[in-house]
Amino acid sequence: MKRTAQRLPHARVDPGKTLRFRFDGRTYEGVAGDSLASALLANGVGVVGRSFKLHRPRGVFGCGKEEANALVQLESGGYSEPNARATLVPLYEGLEARGQNAWPNVRSDVFGALGVFKRLLPASFYYKTFMWPNWQRWEGLVRRLAGLGIAPTSADPQKYLKQNVHADVVVVGAGRSGLEAALATSRDPACRVLLIDEQEEPGGGLLASPAAADRSWLEEALREVAARDNITLLCRTTVNGYYDNNVLAALERLSNHHGPAAGGAVRERFWRIFAGRVVLATGAIERPLVFPNNDRPGIMLASAVREYCHRYGLTLGERIVFYTNNDSAWRTALELVDAGVPVVAIIDLRPAVESELRQRAREAGIALHLGTVVTDTRGRSGLRRLVLHRLAGPGDALEAPAGTLDCDVLAMSGGWTPTVHLYSQSGGLLAYRDSDACFVPERAHQAVTAVGRANGEFAAPLNLQPQWLTPGVSAEHQWVDFQYDVTASDIQLAARENFVSVEHVKRYTTNGMSVDQGKTSNVNGLGILALATGRPIPEVGTTRFRPPYHPTSLGAYAGIELGALYTPFQQLPAHAAHVAAGALFEDYGAWQRPACYPRPGEEEEAAMAREARAVRSAVGLLDYSPLGKLEVRGPDAREFLNRMYLNNIRTLEVGAARYGLMLNEAGIVIDDGVVVCLARDHFLLHTTSGGATTIHQHLEEWLQCEWTDLEVIVGNATTQWATLMLSGPKARAVLAQLDGDIDVSREAFGHMQYREGRLLGQPCRILRASFTGEVSFEISVPANCGLSLWEALMQAGEPHGIVPFGIETLMLLRTEKGYPHVGADTDGNTMPQDLGWGGAVANKPDDFVGRRSLSQPVGSDPGRFQFTGLELLEADARTVSGAHILTADGESTAGYVTSAFHSPNLNRTVALGIVADARDRQGEEVTVFYAGQRQRARLIKPGVYDPAGEALNG
């Protein structure tokens, strides 16, 4: 490969602006406008990578997204990016890259000798070899020997965004066809057009055209695009996926071209595009030819040689030879000669070529070898010589040796593959076109049109004669998939082993897998499969294209949903007070709630114990605001709730509250809470904390779909009110200190009663219910007053020893009391009778949701998991939620511990569980199993603290 200091004129680079970069430890210089690949080529760097399996030296082979060899590890640390295609990396000052899968470097890789053992490492080698004792035993070794880049281990300091956009027309590809489509559709000023191109600048194939007419057409078209307000042009943006409902996903590279110097700028933006109609102007990719040792550095696609010349001003060799089966390469060769590039010969496997092309080539001084194939290549780390044979006829055996030909670059063209990936992803059908030996769009499944070369519309006839592999010579070293080291013999092996489906062959051989997803290997691979299985190509078919079209950063998928924004969070009205009090926050659903308030140096369990003792002996304050608050109103509200709850709501009096269980249609308990009667036709439902939205939807479903005759309106008032729970024997004394108009005395305000009034100048609702077993007041004020009420109660409670307590402490307290927590002490099978509510079901005269299901046989099956208390029998024994209760034979599970805490008030473990037939087995001993340990426990009635409930009325 030639080192090129001077660039050809008219190239789209700025030779006056030098950029320094490093590759594999050496420093080089490129110029502004270079890609990393063009800069490496300009410096004569022939070997840029090592192959995946055999570590064969590989050079730049393409010029864009089709590149299969020049994969590099870009930058380091958090900026490190594996498998970056050097052809797609714009050069920037200070760029650092390394070749992959090589040690110590790609020039002298110690594993390069593996290529000698090619015959021992065919397709399926892994599957057949690493069976004993298991794959994991071998994996470490294989991963070291084979692979691509290395995933970064440091956090990525760069930023990523996601963006949605709607457009009437989305044009993918801003080459000639795409620009024409965008300009035509945008004539209607109301039509919003989004024009997307993956290159650093728009123009597509025109960027590599030397024709003055093409360049001026492009300039004029871009001027027109810029002038139209209804066209949005996105460059450096690759459309990666095409989904249902004309939704496309695209990745925009915003600051990659600055590298780490971009600092905190947004690196990439992930677009979700909602399109009315899509125009795919994605062009076509040239195919390589398959012949022995066709992977040697210096062997490139003809289109790439052309682009490096016209776009980057590079003359890649001193003796460039073309090898083709179609006319397009001839035109490229002639064009390059015009630009002063030394093309010395054209080898064409076709016996005859159009006379005008032959004539022009001869006039240009190009030697012609028709009806000839390349049967081998020579050169240690770069191409030096070709071995030629004459063909007897199309696809026939070789006729006779045709000598050798010295060259340093071979520009090959096996035809063109329209870029139909997105069309296929959209559900569109492809058809094989025999004349051009390629798949083209046939029938769209969505509102999409392919245009230009993506639709198989080539500027001039190809007159192509397919040759899927070189006949008459071993297929062993005829590479098909350069990236994954798949050769023609691998595909033949798969066929011999009876793989018929192209999808199976792909996976068995890995042809078309890896990061390029077979952009250059798919069609050749299925051509070889067709030959090997004796079927025509349309019958073999092609693999289904799947997103992403091009590798996408995981950071782009994550966007800003990282760290604290990983998932939405909800905060309590008195959040600031909890922070100030040193709360240990945990997530309960989306709510950030204090689990407890550890003092400096205090462990969580110690904090919970201290808080629990304070609630039992004095008073505690809990932010209970997420408690569900649904207001149900209307002339039929009472009837409605009586149908929704297992409990009798008909008899609930104004100002009174009642515990209620709610079931679904299957009779499963889905919620419990307290129903308060505010007025004859007005009820307040306190659902489980965090369950308000779900229960609201449940109620609405019955109202809107089943009982449309009931005049009921439901409103969710959960966050309108801040609710603080004041609990403990001194709760009443604390509350009485605050200025309000509600009489909180024992005589005036009993358990399960509700009052409305004013407290410290604000509207106030107070419910006397208890989840701690102590006297409790659930005090609600408008949410904006929640912080102020918290401070007022803490101040008023100070003389009484008030402590703030958290949710975990509440759970401890209610476990001491044996109160079930729906969702924690129930599972997806729990029916009311499993909780001891069978009597209430029998006594309720009216029907309610779930009742019918309760009478099914499953409801009385033996072995149902039923709610129970658990007493651990060994002294100082501990257990945890999730521990198993074993069957009598100790072999299987007959229940679980659902809540377990160390009780500071009883100085032993208190536990609840759901255990098979527990209600009939009270007093029996069972085995608790957790983490390999077995413990003895007894089934007891839930609620070991204050079983008589005297504290409730204190």
Partner 1 sequence: MAKLDRATPLAGTGLERAGLCVAENTGLGLIRLQAFHRRPGAVEELTARLGIEPPGPGSLRSERDRQWFWSAPGEWLIAIPAGTEDAVLGALRAQLDGLFVVLSAITDSQVALDITGEAVREVLARGSTVDFHPASFGAGNCVLTRFAGVPVMLASPGRGEQILLFADRSLARYLLDWFEAASIDC
CB of 568 to partner 1, least distance (A): 5
Pick from 136, 355, 498, 567: which binds partner 1 (CB under 8 A)?
567
Q: Are 779 and 735 in contact (CB under 8 A)?
A: yes
Pick from 129, 501, 795, 922: which binds partner 1 (CB under 8 A)?
795
CB of 593 to partner 1, least distance (A): 11
Q: Are 942 and 869 in contact (CB under 8 A)?
A: yes
Pick from 12, 228, 257, 272: which binds partner 1 (CB under 8 A)?
272
Q: Are 564 and 574 in contact (CB under 8 A)?
A: no
CB of 219 to partner 1, least distance (A): 29
The reply to whether 591 sits near partner 1 by the rule CB under 8 A is yes
DSSP string over 274-293: EEEEEEE---EEEPPP--BT
3-state secondary structure labels for all residues of 160-186: EEEEEEEEEEEEECCCHHHHHHHHHHC
Q: Are 111 and 141 in contact (CB under 8 A)?
A: no
CA distance 475 to 460: 32
Q: Work out the burial of residue 87: count CB atoms within 10 Å of its CB; fewer than 13 is exposed, 13-18 middle, 19 or more buried.
A: buried
Of 43-51, 383-391, 777-785, 907-915: span binding partner 1 (CB under 8 A): 777-785
CB of 571 to partner 1, least distance (A): 5
Nearer to partner 1, 715 or 949 (CB): 715
The reply to whether 571 sits near partner 1 by the rule CB under 8 A is yes
Residues 6+ apart with CB under 8 A from 776: 725, 726, 727, 731, 768, 769, 770
Coil vs helix vs strand at 233: strand
Name the one residue in this structure whose structure tokens are 């470490």.
140
In 88-151, where does DSSP find H-type helix?
125-129, 135-145
Nearer to partner 1, 624 or 865 (CB): 624
Q: How far apart are the first and last CA of the chain?
A: 94
The reply to whether 784 sits near partner 1 by the rule CB under 8 A is yes
CB of 765 to partner 1, least distance (A): 13
Pick from 120, 213, 460, 564: which binds partner 1 (CB under 8 A)?
564
Nearer to partner 1, 71 or 574 (CB): 574
The reply to whether 799 sits near partner 1 by the rule CB under 8 A is no
Binding mask 183-202 for partner 1 (x = CB under 8 A): -------x-x----------
Strand partners, 684: 631, 676
CB of 604 to partner 1, least distance (A): 24
Task: Report the site for partner 1 in 688-747 (rule: CB under 8 A).
Answer: 708, 711, 713, 715, 717-721, 739
Residues 6+ apart with CB under 8 A from 112: 50, 55, 56, 57, 102
Of 265-273, 324-332, 477-485, 837-845: span binding partner 1 (CB under 8 A): 265-273
Residues 6+ apart with CB under 8 A from 330: 322, 324, 346, 348, 353, 357, 361
The reply to whether 792 sits near partner 1 by the rule CB under 8 A is yes
Q: Which two tokens stand for residue 914?
A: 């759901």
CB of 293 to partner 1, least distance (A): 49
CA distance 917 to 883: 18
Pick from 32, 606, 760, 824: which binds partner 1 (CB under 8 A)?
760
How many Cβ atoms from other residues are within 10 Å of residue 563's Cβ? 6
The reply to whether 141 sits near partner 1 by the rule CB under 8 A is no
Q: Which two tokens stand for residue 909?
A: 């473990």
Question: Minimal CA–CA distance to 426: which of 245, 594, 646?
Answer: 245
Nearer to partner 1, 724 or 731 (CB): 724
Rg over CA atoms, the chain: 38
Question: Minimal CA–CA distance to 297: which of 39, 27, 22, 51?
Answer: 51
Nearer to partner 1, 739 or 876 (CB): 739
Of 180-188, 396-404, 503-511, 787-795: span binding partner 1 (CB under 8 A): 787-795
Task: Report the site for partner 1 in 620-649 (rule: CB under 8 A).
Answer: 631, 633-635
CB of 405 to partner 1, least distance (A): 55
CB of 744 to partner 1, least distance (A): 17
How many chain residues interact with partner 1 (CB under 8 A)?
Answer: 57
Pick from 20, 166, 187, 362: which binds partner 1 (CB under 8 A)?
166
CB of 196 to partner 1, least distance (A): 16
CA distance 622 to 612: 12
CB of 763 to partner 1, least distance (A): 9
List contacts with partner 1 (CB under 8 A).
159, 161-166, 190, 192, 264-266, 272, 274, 559-561, 564-565, 567-573, 575, 591, 631, 633-635, 708, 711, 713, 715, 717-721, 739, 759-762, 781-785, 787-789, 791-792, 795
